[in-house]
Amino acid sequence: MNCITLLPFRRIASVLILLAGLAAPAAAAERMVVPLPPVETFTDADRPTGYSDGTYSWEEPWGYRLAANANRVYPLIVFGPWNESGAFTTALRKTYPAFYLVYQEASEAGGAALSDHIDEVMASQGFRIALNRVYLTGFSAGGSGSYKTIRGFLSKGKCFAGLIRLAGQSESVLAEGAVNKLAISMHIGLQDDQSRIDVSRALYANIRNHPANAQAVETVLNEPAFGRITKVLTLEGVDVIRYSEYAGMGHTTGTPYSDPALYSWIMTRAIGTPNDHAAPSIPTGVQGRVVSATSVALTWTASSDNVGVTGYRVYRATGTGAPVQIATGVTTTSYSNTGLATGTTYTYSVAAHDAAGNVSPVSTAVAVVVHDEAWTDFADWRAGNFSGAELADDLISGLGADPDSAGLTNLERYAFGLPARGPASAGFLFAFVDVAGVQRPVLTFQRKGYAPDLEYVVEASSDLATWADLPVVLPGYPKSISVSDLLAPAGAPRRFLRLRIDRVVPIDDLPSH
């Protein structure tokens, strides 16, 4: 016995059930139905924000920037050459929040470029697009062109989850890579050109007779409210194609798009395994490397999944702030984060997801301080500036060595960001500065922006015999730092300041100024 589930199109006057075949399917289907989005109430403040990538304009979903939706991913609807975006009214866009793109391309090159555009906005804008829920519309030449777009999209490793195709005078054979993933809603008016009718019928026949759909079930629906007969081919209870012929319709989009069920149908299509409820494993080994003063490169070890990992989400916290998702659908185990602020600490974590929408717990976080330093440890500085016998000789490359007799030790050159060899000056400035209405001695010096092995300690004395430490200064930004004495000159006949450089790992004979 075959169990037939009739999905949203339910205006039935008569039903005829046929078996499409008895052979085993060639490959497992990856179509699934996801729930409709939750009912939300929006205000004008939740109106979508537009973004132009320089070529195309993208519209965000309604409510996309609400705090409650910060971790939510949304489908993307791509409108083809005839731009059916007008059918998706504001009311529908509130009911079915999604990214919308008027693409108006219908070629293999256009499909490949679309994939690149999606990757670009997800990386640069952090758009949270559900890559297993990208939908395409196509009318007339765009109807035939949709099959070309699909091939180009597949060439970049992506596939549409749903297609609304109206008419089209060519292209009746769907690319193999989409046969098990794409769900189609096909519409043709019987008052249209016979060539378009023939192509549309061939399209349905090709899908119905494909070995992958050998166990599919065909249901024929008479829908007089729309003047159409619809054949619904389902496999394991999920629509493969809904093919509608309209007796009184010519070459137009009006009647199909007047059916509210069309929108609920497309918005519930997804690529995935219907019974997959297992989340991928947690990504491990997350590492961050400073690439420049404004960018960080992240890498991690791949997650595993019972079906397959389809992407990763990257989260970032700035300073002590809460983590925010900055990328989704990352398909490799690396990510480049640019446009960062020098001297700021960013904390990153990663989660994996699969085609069914299962998401792993987030990884252990890694903190990265963005800096512009070539050397962040004395040992690395030493190895980078000396070689051979010099590197092995502490009298030349050691902490307290002054190989050029320039009056500066190697530790001082490293700590002040000076060249390793040749004449140089530490650039101290001693002055009296008004601090809260009191003239105090202040020492200004140049520190490193980032060096976990260093501390700078200004010492104060009235007799050059007894010295007291002022608050410790760590590397940071701005690099120029001023430290004022805690005691005003009026409280002592004279005051002296000097700077001591400490390494976090204690060493002997640390130099002072």
Chain segment 46-96, per-residue pLDDT in tens: 999 989 988 899 999 999 999 888 878 899 999 988 878 888 999 999 999
What is d(CA 489, CA 240) in angstroms, rounded to the nearest whole number? 86
Same-domain status, 345 and 476:
no
Tell me which of 339, 369, 399 is where a domain ends: 369
What is d(CA 172, CA 168) in angstroms, rounded to the nearest whole number? 9
For residue 21, pLDDT over 50 is answered with no
The CATH number for 313's domain is 2.60.40.10
- Cβ-Cβ contacts under 8 Å for 132 (sequence gap 6 or more): 161, 270, 271, 272, 310, 355, 357
Position 15 scores a pLDDT of: 39
Same-domain status, 104 and 208:
yes
146's enclosing H/E stretch is: helix 141-155
344 occurs within a structural domain: yes
How is residue 17 written in tokens?
């059930």
221 occurs within a structural domain: no
For residue 343, pLDDT over 50 is answered with yes
Same-domain status, 146 and 67:
yes
Count CB neighbours of 473 within 10 A: 17
Q: Read out DSSP for 169-180?
A: SS--S--HHHHT
For residue 158, pLDDT over 60 is answered with yes
What is d(CA 99, CA 394) in angstroms, rounded to the nearest whole number? 62
Hey, is 331 helix, strand or coil? coil
Q: β-pairing, 324-330 with 334-337? A: unpaired
Same-domain status, 307 and 390:
no
How is residue 451 written in tokens?
């060096």
Among 23-32, 105-114, 266-275, 409-418, name the one with the lowest average pLDDT. 23-32
12 occurs within a structural domain: no
Chain segment 9-20, per-residue pLDDT in tens: 333 333 343 333
Position 16 scores a pLDDT of: 41
CB of 232 closer than 8 Å to CB of 9: yes
Same-domain status, 321 and 443:
no
Amino acid (one-letter) located at 418: L
What is d(CA 112, CA 155) in angstroms, rounded to the nearest whole number? 7
Same-domain status, 357 and 485:
no
Closest listed residue to residue 14, CA positions, set 23, 22, 6: 6
- Reading across the β-sheet that carries 480-484, which strands appear in turn? 429-435, 438-446, 480-484
Chain segment 434-480, per-residue pLDDT in tens: 877 888 889 999 999 999 999 999 999 988 999 999 999 999 999 99
Position 511 scores a pLDDT of: 39
Average pLDDT over every residue of 91-112: 93
Position 3 scores a pLDDT of: 40
Same-domain status, 422 and 322:
no
Same-domain status, 332 and 451:
no
DSSP letter for 44, please: G
What is d(CA 223, CA 246) in angstroms, rounded to the nearest whole number? 10
Tell me which of 337, 369, 401 is where a domain ends: 369
Task: Find where tokens 């997804």 sit.
Answer: 270
Average pLDDT over every residue of 97-104: 92
For residue 323, pLDDT over 80 is answered with yes
Q: Read out DSSP for 189-246?
A: ETTS-HHHHHHHHHHHHHHHTSGGGTT-EEEEEEEGGGTEEEEEEEETTEEEEEEEEE
For residue 137, pLDDT over 70 is answered with yes
Q: How many domains does the chain have?
A: 3
Closest listed residue to residue 427, CA positions, set 352, 355, 513, 503: 513
Q: Which phi and psi (to 5°) does residue 439 adopt?
A: -75, 120
Task: Find where tokens 């700590």 sit.
Answer: 415
Residue 142 pLDDT class (50, 70, 90 cuts): low
For residue 317, pLDDT over 80 is answered with yes
For residue 6, pLDDT over 50 is answered with no
Dmax (CA) for the chain in angstroms is: 107
Residue 298 pLDDT class (50, 70, 90 cuts): very high
CB of 60 closer than 8 Å to CB of 76: no
Q: Mean pLDDT of all residues in the chain?
A: 88
CA 126, 130, 133 angle in degrees (round to 5)? Answer: 150
224 occurs within a structural domain: no
Same-domain status, 265 and 300:
no
What is d(CA 272, CA 131) in angstroms, rounded to the nearest whole number? 11
What is d(CA 373, CA 380) in angstroms, rounded to the nearest whole number? 12
pTM of the shown model: 0.62
What is d(CA 252, CA 87) in angstroms, rounded to the nearest whole number? 13
Percentage of residues in the chain having pLDDT higher than 90: 66
231 occurs within a structural domain: no
14 occurs within a structural domain: no
Tell me which of 241, 271, 301 is where a domain ends: 271
Specify burial of residue 150 (Cβ count, 10 A radius: 0-12, 13-18, 19+).
buried
Position 9 scores a pLDDT of: 35
Position 169 scores a pLDDT of: 82
Among 41-50, 76-85, 402-411, name the one with the lowest average pLDDT. 76-85
Count CB neighbours of 509 within 10 A: 7
161 occurs within a structural domain: yes
Same-domain status, 323 and 429:
no
Torsion angle of the four alpha carbons 414, 415, 418, 419, in this order, in degrees rounded to the nearest 10:
0
236 occurs within a structural domain: no
Top-confidence range, 130-134, 207-211, 254-258? 207-211
The CATH number for 116's domain is 3.40.50.1820
Same-domain status, 174 and 290:
no
Average pLDDT over every residue of 363-386: 94
Same-domain status, 113 and 259:
yes
For residue 140, pLDDT over 90 is answered with no
Residue 35, preceding peptide bond in cis (omega within 30° of 0): no
Position 210 scores a pLDDT of: 96
Percentage of residues in the chain having pLDDT higher than 70: 91
| More confident call, 446 vs 490 | 446
Chain segment 230-286, per-residue pLDDT in tens: 999 999 899 999 999 999 999 988 899 999 999 999 999 999 876 777 899 999 999
Structural domain that includes position 132 = 29-213+251-271
